[in-house]
Amino acid sequence: MEPIVDIDFIDNRTPEQAAACDTHITTESNTGKTRKLYIESYGCAMNFSDSEIVSSIMHGEGFDTTADIAQADLVFLNTCSIREKAEQTVRNRLGQINYYKKKKPAMMVGVLGCMAERLKKSLLEEEKIVDLVVGPDAYRDLPNLINEVDGGQKAVNVLLSREETYADISPIRLNSNGVSAFISIMRGCDNMCSFCVVPFTRGRERSRDAHSVVREAQALVAQGYKEVTLLGQNVDSYKWVSEDGTEVVNFANLLGMVAQLSPELRVRFSTSHPKDITDEVLHTIRKYDNICKYIHLPAQSGNSRVLELMNRTYDRDWYLNRVDAIRSILGEDCGISSDMIAGFCSETEEEHQDTLSLMDYVQYDYSYMFFYSERPGTLAARKLEDDIPLEVKKRRLDEIITKQRETSLARNRRDVGKLHKVLVEGFSKKSDEQLSGRNDQNKVVIFDKKHYKRGDYVNVFVHDCSVGTLFGEAVD
């Protein structure tokens, strides 16, 4: 998964993609616990999934959750380090939280996640309000760390693990619509993309026990959930081997195992890596009607030299081969989205044009687009010069955004005049008289409420569209 913050995008996002742009705050729970936990989560979907694990751990330690920070005894910010602005957002928020801590000096403040892992103990020195710093693999140690803070000490645990997957912890679903849920299937990343901090903040890749994934999905089905998203930094490299070596499950196998739980359960996944996505995965998607025909396939650039500098381990021709396979096996209507970086180190104007021509070829339904921002500690920061002027980066980004808006509108116009099966997620943003949901290709569809409700599958005839949304009428 490629977490993105501070981006421009075409707004027909999945829950995990919306999470990548928004801040999530804990919902209220009151089970009689003596202390209150408040969490704000930033960044990628993995962070939001992690916050659900953290809430489960802290619930066992006597904490209910609260949506009111003023009522909290413990405040966690689960952070992202993908861009400098993401970290600055957290620092600004810590300054605001200081207002509440002054009124309630016993309030504990902790920084979790990638920013905690990257900055470690220095974060305690830089942000005096912070009492504990905890990396993504150390959440089981939270009870001990809380005890240290209760005793008047600052606390840090940022040790990375080669084994931790939290497979045995049942997440407490935060901000859930009761329809869609995340399931983390793996942690960490072995890809060393030169622009990315994730391998340094989340550690080495390891896959979760396949049967624990299936059990979690089964439990969600029993609770009435209609959709799960299988999460990983690179889901296509998922591979679980049983302790005795008799059972090997790859991502295609896992997809099939989850899809077979119920024909009423939609299955999504994020994110695919172009070097690893296989025809076997594509054929599995085609085999099961309830696996959504949508793939997020980040390109980052359309030029092979730039891709090599990014250490993406594929070139333009390989990427186009994977796109051709998707179109051949899953059809022209399969949704494809991407991430694009404008102005990477030494990118020429001609190489930028290669990105635009790639977009013309693929015809993405939408993209996450941003200009290159150097991150401390990455391979690019150590070995490459960030030599593209900011005004050039912004101009190239604007050209990419303009291209994507044109393509998104054209792709949506293809859906006008067709019937779409939509899973209702809730009311539309503009009116409680209209419902919003997504179709198989991951596009937002708006239609009049009538007698339908959240969690229903509805056949919708689409009669109009915008750049980011389809509009239609429910057909009984």
Q: Can you read off the two tokens belonging to residue 475?
A: 């057909």
DSSP bridge partners of 187:
206
Contact 455, 224 (CB under 8 A): yes
Does residue 172 fall inside a structural domain? Answer: no
> Residue 153 is part of a domain; what is its CATH number?
3.40.50.12160
DSSP bridge partners of 74:
37, 108
- Cα 285 to its chain centre, rounded Å, is 20
Interatomic CA distance for residues 33 and 62, integer angstroms: 5
> Residue 428 is part of a domain; what is its CATH number?
2.40.50.140
pTM over 0.85: yes
- What b/e readout covers 165-181, taking b as 16+ CB neighbours within 10 angstroms? bbbebebbbbbbbebbb
Q: Which of 365, 385, 413 is the last residue of a domain?
A: 413
Q: Which of 364, 381, 413 is the last residue of a domain?
A: 413
Q: What phi-psi label fits residue 38: left (phi over 0), alpha (psi between -120 and 50 degrees) or beta?
A: beta
Does residue 169 fall inside a structural domain? Answer: no
Based on the fold, state whether residues 261 and 404 are members of the same structural domain: yes
* SS3 per residue for the chain: CCCCCCCEECCCCCHHHHHHHCCEECCCCCCCCCEEEEEEECCCHHHHHHHHHHHHHHHCCCEEECCCHHHCCEEEEEECCCCHHHHHHHHHHHHHHHHHHHHCCCCEEEEEEHHHHHHCCHHHHHCCCCCEEECCCCHHHHHHHHHHHHCCCCEEECCCCCCCCCCCCCCCCCCCCCCEEEEECEECCCCCCCCCCHHHHHCCCEECCHHHHHHHHHHHHHCCCCEEEEECCCHHHCEEECCCCCCEEEHHHHHHHHHCCCCCCEEEEECCCCCCCCHHHHHHHHHCCCECCEEECCCECCCHHHHHHCCCCCCHHHHHHHHHHHHHHHCCCCEEEEEEEECCCCCCHHHHHHHHHHHHHHCCCEEEEEECCCCCCCHHHHHCCCCCCHHHHHHHHHHHHHHHHHHHHHHHHCCCCCEEEEEEEEECCCCCCEEEEECCCCCEEEEECCCCCCCCEEEEEEEEECCCEEEEEECC
Does residue 329 fall inside a structural domain? Answer: yes
Based on the fold, state whether residues 429 and 345 are members of the same structural domain: no
Based on the fold, state whether residues 455 and 353 are members of the same structural domain: no
Based on the fold, state whether residues 213 and 264 are members of the same structural domain: yes
Based on the fold, state whether residues 54 and 203 are members of the same structural domain: no
Q: Which of 104, 124, 157 is the last residue of a domain?
A: 157
Based on the fold, state whether residues 228 and 283 are members of the same structural domain: yes
Based on the fold, state whether residues 423 and 409 are members of the same structural domain: no
Does residue 165 fall inside a structural domain? Answer: no
Q: What is the mean pLDDT of each run of 10 residues along the chain (476 residues)?
A: 34 36 60 86 90 94 93 95 88 95 95 94 93 96 96 95 92 86 95 94 95 97 96 96 95 98 97 97 98 98 98 98 98 97 98 98 96 94 97 98 98 98 96 96 97 97 98 96
Based on the fold, state whether residues 409 and 282 are members of the same structural domain: yes
Rounded to 10 degrees, the C-alpha dihedral 249/296/50/197 comes to: 100
Domain encompassing residue 201: 180-413
> Residue 252 is part of a domain; what is its CATH number?
3.80.30.20
Does residue 307 fall inside a structural domain? Answer: yes
pLDDT digits (tens, 9 = 90+) for 68-123: 999 999 999 999 988 888 899 999 999 999 999 999 999 999 999 999 999 999 99
Dihedral sign computed on CA atoms, order 6, 9, 12, 14: negative
Based on the fold, state whether residues 122 and 214 are members of the same structural domain: no
Does residue 162 fall inside a structural domain? Answer: no
Does residue 166 fall inside a structural domain? Answer: no
What pLDDT, on a 0 to 100 scale, did the predictor assign at position 188? 94
Does residue 167 fall inside a structural domain? Answer: no
Based on the fold, state whether residues 201 and 113 are members of the same structural domain: no
Dihedral sign computed on CA atoms, order 384, 387, 391, 393: negative
Based on the fold, state whether residues 112 and 225 are members of the same structural domain: no
Based on the fold, state whether residues 435 and 405 are members of the same structural domain: no
What pLDDT, on a 0 to 100 scale, did the predictor assign at position 85? 84
Instruction: Give how many domains the chain has, as a whole number.
Output: 3
